[in-house]
Structure 1
Amino acid sequence: MSSRLLRVALFASAAFALSYPAAQAEDVLGADVGKALQQAQSALSAHDYTKAMAAVNAADAVKGKSDYESYTITQMRAAVATQGGNLDVATQAYDKLIASPRTPKDTKHQMLMSEATMAYTAKDYPRAVKAIERYQKEVGSNATMDTLLAQSYYLQKDYPNSVRVLKQQIDQEIKAKKTPAESQLQMLGASATAMKDSATTTHAYVLLATYYPKQEYWALLLHELIVNPKIPTSLQLDVYRIRLAAGNVSQARDFMEMTEIAMQSGMPQLALDLMNQGYQANVLGQGAEAPRQARLKAMVEKSVADKKASIAADEAAALKQKTGDDLLTVGYNYVTFGQADKGIGLMQQAMSKGVTDMNVARLHYGLAQLAAGKKTDAIATLKTVDGGAGAQDIAQLWVLKLSAAK
């Protein structure tokens, strides 16, 4: 029941008491109280809240009132104060009604909800929080009240509590296989950003991109990845690649830099594939930079031919190494050359030998599986990427992207 419906109910209950005999002999309004409340009812109907409250006060001033008369006066006071926007008086009246044994249990619950809603509407957020928490304690969880609680914390800039209650609500919804509200996730992201909590901010954007796959959420996610200080320069190419997959690369300089990094990493076919995407998107090959881009492409194509000629020797040399780092690159190159099974097998062998960073190796192994057309296997591999050096963040975005494309 909304605040509007509750004040209608309060008005109706007070009017009922004025119009009909009580069920119990003692539940009768005396002439003085009844007359004053009739005047209050008429003034309330005319939206003259000052006159209505004066009549309520006159009824309350009558000496020797019965409990029933006091209760009915409080009902009318609550109705007048609620419609008149007097938060303090309405809250005091509701509290009396809630404490009264005359008020049915369900009505008490609606009054608690109305107290919270009125406080929120009046922008008295601390009072709204207090009322909502009382409701939750006495009644339990309610979607409307849960949302108002998070909003009340957020609007008074109590971001830690906003994050706390939002995380709890969102986790419960996901566990129940429900879709969290977009506004909930947006508020979580905004609260975490205000706290400079990058982990929670990224988590919020991941959920937004998962449940509401809009380009703007991917842009926010990728921005968080780009500015994340824990991402080492060695993963710069991987950052570019997930950005490219998400449609977040549109500048010629980005394609050129990707190409150069791939070349420096000893993967010329990957470099050529990235350049070709730039040409296909009409980003490369345009304007004054087109000749320089063409020269780079020619150099990359020559490197591809050279690498194909030397890859068997590269493999033999890598197999003799104590670690699997070089072999991992050789395996990836085989995959890019179209020998997927051989390349993936060598990458597995490389990880068995041991590599400098197993999580980066798993990330690249998952991308190799993807290039080989093994998307299900790639997702499973990418989910195993762990650690706090950035590879896990990139892998999670790939999982999100690939899962959404199923």
Structure 2
Amino acid sequence: MAFLAHTLHRVFFEIPQDPLYTMTKLRVLAASLLMAGCLSTAYAQALRPEVAKPLQQAGDMLKAGKAKEALAKVRDADNVANKNPNEQLMVDRMRGAAAQRAGDNATAARSFEAAMASGKLSQAEQAQMAESIAFAYSQLKDNAKAGQWAQKAVSLGGNSPQLKQLQAYLQGQSGDYNAIAKDAAAAVSAAEQGGRKPDEGDLLRLADAYQHTNNAAGQSAVLEKLLAYYPKKEYWAAALGRLPRKPGFSNDRYSLDLLRLRLATGNLSKADDYMEMAQLALQAGFPSEGKMVVEKGIAAGVLGTGPEAARHKRLEDLAIKQEAEGKAGLDKDVAEAKDGNAMVLVGTQLVSFGQTDKGIALIEQGIAKDQLKRPDDAKLRLGLALLHSGKNKAKATQTLRSVQGNDGAADIARLWALLGTGA
């Protein structure tokens, strides 16, 4: 699943190199904002004018995006002799904010650590400050200290998305994929048990960790969770790309089913794919479906153009011809369907011709006869027919999820259940 690893790295693991990263969330600019006019009475009364004035100027410069100039003003404030503890705290906080915005992460880390050591910050402020220190060390490539401060932030109650992102990044850098899997799995489980949708990043982390630990079953399970909670086109492409390689999967019997899922999820795009699906539908006795596929390909601008346009037209004409012949012989086919296997086949054809209710009834009769060659395949056809009817989605889902086996029927049914219910 190289695709999932790429998505994981791009969406979740890449820590922006911009020094402004997480500043507003962490509120490490609190000092500059306070000094710009929002300073609490207690702090304002504790600052002498010779300290307050350059810090005020530094705050204004920070808001104007002039971080290096702000650092110079902070130095003016720091040069004042005999600073009291509150003055030193404000200098450290302002210097840390200005340094981090200027890209001087070493100075930022030292300044914020000094502020943390003051003993004057509330627990919430400490959590924010610890998170900012962790980020500064990550920018300095000191992942050990970054991890320590990130954990400190968590112990103080920090739980921002940025902190989780940073922890995930640090775990990824460590290469301890068993630990990553354990942590991500716990986060996913906690969300689900709490009735919440798991974070997409946690699911991607878990999938990537399973990939690195060769846990194919776990990776498939996580991918299905991604389909359930975040049904994106690329996740469907990944799932459908993996399925034909699954041990025991019968590509011969379920090639058309795979193409149906690709079409339904927007992952059918090439002319050859449309042509293959239409031809397989005709061969399976579903000319209406074959015609529909050609029409969709033409509507998408994939078929009906270029040097193969004539071939596309011939296939469409063949589908139209077979559809007319099939409809004309339907009553005869229904009358001749005596055993369960034939009933399921003809019932499925009825559904494809638009006679959904009649087709469902015949499939159910075929299943009731038992002695089917492939009972799970029959349940798959019934589930798809019910889903196609749109009348009883709950029954359709229940039927699809009851399909078992290792040949591919259960996999196809489960994916259709996810697609049909969106969960």
| Length-normalised TM-score, structure 2 | 0.64
Asked if structure 1 preserves the Cα contact closer than 8 Å seen for 2:287 and 2:322, the reply is no
Measure, in 2, the Cα distance between the counterparts of 1:132 and 1:387: 46
Moved more, 220-229 or 295-304: 295-304
Aligned to 1:246: 265
Q: Is the CA contact 2:109–2:133 (under 8 Å) kept in the aligned structure 1? A: no
Match of 1:288 among 305, 310, 315: 310
Identity fraction in percent = 25
CA distance in 2, matches of 1:4, 1:382: 53
Which ranges of structure 1 fall in alignment gaps of 5 or more residues?
Answer: 21-34, 61-68, 320-324
Q: 1:331 aligns with which of 334, 337, 347?
A: 347
Larger RCO, structure (CA 8 Å, separation 6 or more)? 2
In terms of Rg, which structure is larger?
1
Q: Which residue of 2 aligns with 1:224?
A: 239
Equivalent in 132, 137, 144 of residue 114 of structure 1: 132
Going from structure 1 to structure 2, the CA distance change for 1:364 and 1:77 (only over 3 Å counts) comes to same
Relative to structure 1, the CA distance from residue 15 to residue 304 in structure 2 (aligned partners, 3 Å threshold; closer, same or farther) is same
What's 2:255 paired with?
236
Give matches, 1:160-175, under 5 Å: 165-169=183-187, 172-173=190-191
Matched, 1:5 2:29: yes
Q: CA 1:6 to 1:355, structure 2 compared with 1: closer, same or farther past 3 Å?
A: farther
For the 8 Å contact 1:115–1:128, the answer to whether it is kept is: yes
Q: 1:404 to 1:334 in 2, by over 3 A?
A: same
Q: Deviations over 1:156-184 (max 9, x none)?
A: 77666556545544554555555666666
Q: Does 1:90 align with 2:111?
A: yes
For residues 267 and 122 of structure 2, what CA distance do their matches in structure 1 show?
58
1:2-401 alignment, distance < 5 Å = 2-8=26-32, 17-19=46-48, 47-48=71-72, 51=75, 55=79, 73=88, 76-77=91-92, 79-81=94-96, 83-84=98-99, 85=105, 86-90=107-111, 92-97=113-118, 100=119, 103-120=121-138, 122=140, 124-139=142-157, 141-154=159-172, 165-169=183-187, 172-173=190-191, 176=194, 217-228=232-243, 229-230=245-246, 231-233=249-251, 234-264=253-283, 267-268=284-285, 270-279=286-295, 281-282=297-298, 287-290=309-312, 292-293=314-315, 296-297=318-319, 298=321, 301-302=324-325, 305=328, 308-313=331-336, 315-316=337-338, 318-319=339-340, 325-336=341-352, 340-341=356-357, 343-352=359-368, 353=370, 355=372, 358-376=375-393, 377-386=395-404, 389-401=407-419
8 Å CA contact 1:255, 1:274 repeated in 2: no
Contact 2:113 2:133 in 1 (8 A): no
* 3-state SS, counterpart of residue 4 of structure 1: coil
In the TM superposition, residue 250 of structure 1 has moved relative to its aligned partner by 4.2
The answer to whether the Cα contact below 8 Å between 1:202 and 1:221 also exists between their aligned partners in 2 is no
The change in CA–CA distance for 1:16 and 1:394 in structure 2 (over 3 A counts) is farther
Q: Distance in 1 between matches of 2:387 and 2:293?
A: 17
For the 8 Å contact 1:369–1:375, the answer to whether it is kept is: yes
The alpha carbon displacement at 1:350 in A equals: 4.2
Task: State the partner residue of 1:66.
Answer: none
Query: How has the CA–CA distance of structure 1 residues 337 and 195 changed in structure 2, closer, same or farther, with 3 Å as cutoff?
Result: same
Identify unmatched segments of 5+ residues in structure 2. 1-24, 60-69, 100-104
- 1:236–1:14: structure 2 CA closer, same or farther, 3 Å change rule? same
Over aligned residue pairs, what C-alpha RMSD do you find?
A: 4.7
Task: State TM-score, norm by structure 1.
Answer: 0.67
Aligned to 2:71, the other structure's residue is in SS state: coil
Counterpart CA distance in 2 for 1:335 and 1:399 is 18
Q: Deviations over 1:297-329 (max 9, x none)?
A: 34565466556534433x22x25xxxxx45432
Cα displacement (A) at 1:293: 1.7
Q: Please say if residues 344 and 378 of structure 2, whose CA atoms lie closer than 8 Å, have aligned partners that are also in contact.
A: yes
Give the equivalent residue in structure 2 for 1:64. none
Deviation track 1:340-369 (CA, whole Å, cap 9, x = no partner) reads: 455434433544525455543332211122
**Number of aligned residue pairs:** 365
In the alignment, is the contact (CA less than 8 A) between 1:240 and 1:258 conserved in 2? yes
> Quick check: 1:163–1:188 contact (8 Å CA) kept in 2?
yes
